[in-house]
Copies of this chain bind each other. A is one copy, B any other.
Amino acid sequence: MSTIYEIAKQVGVSTATVSRALNNKGYVKEELKHRIWAKAEELDYVPNALAKSLVNKLTQIITLIIPDISNPFFALVARGVEDTAYNYGYSLLMCNTDGSKVKEKKYVAVARERQADGIIFIGSIMSKNYLEELAQNKIPIVVADRYVDGLNVDKVLNDNLKGAKEAVRHLVRLGHQAIATIRGPQTTQTGLDRYIGYEKAMKESLLEPRQDWVREGDFKESTGYYETKQLLELREPPTAIFAANDLMAIGALSAIEEAGLRVPHDIAIVGYDDIPLASKVRPRLTTVAQLKYELGQQAAETLIWRLNNPEQYKRPETLVLQPRLVIRESSLVGSVIDEK
């Protein structure tokens, strides 16, 4: 592995000059510059980023901490982050936590040891204090896709409340009044927001959500199936169901089919997330699409911007991405509408 020193020796100049020539920085006589470049080429010189970083205090490394890259949602986010990072000359350190706080903390430590310039964090440690302390004193961080009340840290979010509202309004526009929901765990911010969105949309349409139309889910397909069965057995079953995610919506589809009813003729279904499967099932699922790639992209942009503007930190950035309703067959009789 040849070094700047080796080049200096062979060309007969100092390392200082070689450094300047190689980085095209400061004064070096044109002719000498070319000789240095040629020698670097000849020796297959590869600059040592570690040594550079040690003096610059900058590694151009971003650490991405996510629950699980094999989840398509995070994979797309990651792709958005990486593409953006790459465009700005940053490299990405990937960390999968499975939502374990222990691993999250370990990876934060790794990021700090490796002198990463910053962290993009999608985690479960959502203590306001921990995150603010990190951002202010340890390492720049942008929180993505996770809402924490009053959190004073750069963040990029999806507007789940808005998305849920859109979904329900869509059903209302189709004439539905008896709209049930299979909500997510109310211990998660996502579950909570989507439920509040449902409630608000109902109220604004002067529809009182009946208690037995609000079912407790856990984001799993089997639960969507089971809860829908329950809904169908009610004396007054709903004519539409808003499920807090696509998997539960797909479970609902099976339950309805099994009961000999038809979607959307007898019951309309709307999901959330727009996972790949949503456009594959029959009937195709109407759902709320999140900007996943863009989430990653914006998180990276925000972080990199922050790295160049650390001084303005008093006012952290908050970016809220708007979801998009994708109308397909599960809510619309007849024609297939799919903007995808």
Contact surface of A with B, Cβ cutoff 8 Å: 46-51, 53-54, 59, 64, 68-70, 72, 75-76, 78-79, 82-83, 86, 91-96, 109-110, 112-115, 276-277, 280-281, 293
Q: How far is the CB of A83 from chain B (nearest CB, A)?
A: 7
This chain: copies in complex = 2
Q: How far is the CB of A129 from chain B (nearest CB, A)?
A: 15
A113 to B48, CA, bound (A): 5
Q: How far is the CB of A100 from chain B (nearest CB, A)?
A: 12
Choose among A47, A49, A95, A281 the residue with the greatest number of B CB atoms under 10 Å from its CB. Answer: A49
Residue of B nearest to A83 (CB): B96
A264 to B68, CA, bound (A): 36
Set of chain B residues within 8 Å of A96, measured between Cβ atoms: 79, 82-83, 86
- CB of A92 within 8 A of CB of B94, answer yes
Set of chain B residues within 8 Å of A49, measured between Cβ atoms: 113-115
- CB of B79 within 8 A of CB of A70, answer yes
Q: Given A48-B113, A50-B50, A50-B114, do A78 and B69 touch, yes or no (CB 8 Å)?
A: yes
Set of chain B residues within 8 Å of A69, measured between Cβ atoms: 69, 75, 78-79, 82
From the candidates B76, B94, B113, B281, name the one contacting A78 in the complex (CB within 8 A): B94
From the candidates B50, B70, B76, name the one contacting A53 in the complex (CB within 8 A): B50
A91 to B48, CA, bound (A): 18
Set of chain B residues within 8 Å of A70, measured between Cβ atoms: 72, 75-76, 78-79, 293
Across the A-B interface, give the 4 residue pairs with the lowest CB-CB distance, nearest first.
A94-B94, A49-B113, A70-B79, A75-B75
Set of chain B residues within 8 Å of A83, measured between Cβ atoms: 96
A68 to B76, CA, bound (A): 10
- CB of A109 within 8 A of CB of B46, answer yes
Q: How far is the CB of A262 from chain B (nearest CB, A)?
A: 16
The contact sample of 19 A-B pairs, CB cut-off 8 A, is A47-B113, A49-B115, A50-B115, A69-B69, A69-B75, A69-B79, A70-B76, A72-B75, A78-B94, A82-B94, A82-B96, A86-B96, A91-B95, A91-B114, A92-B93, A92-B94, A92-B95, A93-B93, A94-B94
A34 to B48, CA, bound (A): 36
Q: How far is the CB of A327 from chain B (nearest CB, A)?
A: 22
Set of chain B residues within 8 Å of A113, measured between Cβ atoms: 46-49
Set of chain B residues within 8 Å of A293, measured between Cβ atoms: 70
Contacts A47-B113, A94-B94, A277-B280 given; 12 further ones with Cβ under 8 A? A46-B112, A49-B113, A49-B115, A69-B75, A69-B79, A69-B82, A70-B78, A72-B75, A82-B94, A86-B96, A92-B93, A93-B94
